[in-house]
Amino acid sequence: QQKGYRARAAYKLTEILDTEKLLAKGDVVVDLGSAPGSWSQVARERLAGPGGVIEGRVIALDLLPMEPIAGVEFMQGDFREDSVLAELEARLGGEKVDLVISDMAPNLSGVSSADSARIQHVCELAMEFACAHLKPDGALAVKAFHGSGFSQIVETFKQHFTRVVERKPKASRDKSSETFLVARGLKN
């Protein structure tokens, strides 16, 4: 809160970006499931040059409304819908993306088999989006959860990317099964 971040998740992304050397000035970033906006805030901060001018782009999408962030292009909608995807692609103007970040989490029911299927689905949606829109050397960072289905998610990612690593940032609570996957190098 002192730094003005909307959620503690900002520190998780910061650590992932630093560890993996992701995000450079001039990059195009898409933040899937962006609300409340802390990941977009971090991406914007990293792209800000002298005088706070953004060098690159941050496009944020969410089903929920998000308070505006200066220099971040926000779209409210579901990127699984053709019309929303078409609008996003129009904004990109054929440009490929350097980094896709996703802190999306499904609404969990407490039924582990149903929840792991939902988690897997959300990770796969982010991966499919990334496969279609990333530059060949681009990267994808997504939130996943250890548990049943996790190894399948990792395997699926490895089918599409040359390098897949797991990251458990220090800002993640110890008891949390939350883990982040960072995938790079699209396979053809």
Neighbours of 37 (CB within 10 A): 23
- Per DSSP, the residues of 79-96 read TTSHHHHHHHHHHHTTPP
Overall residue count recorded for the chain in this entry = 188
* Backbone phi, psi, residue 121, to 5°: -60, -45
170 catalytic, yes or no? no
Helix (H) or strand (E) holding 154: helix 150-160
For residues 157 and 170, the answer to whether their CB atoms sit within 8 Å is no
| Given 12, 25, 96, 143, the catalytic residue | 143
Q: So which residues are the catalytic ones?
A: 143
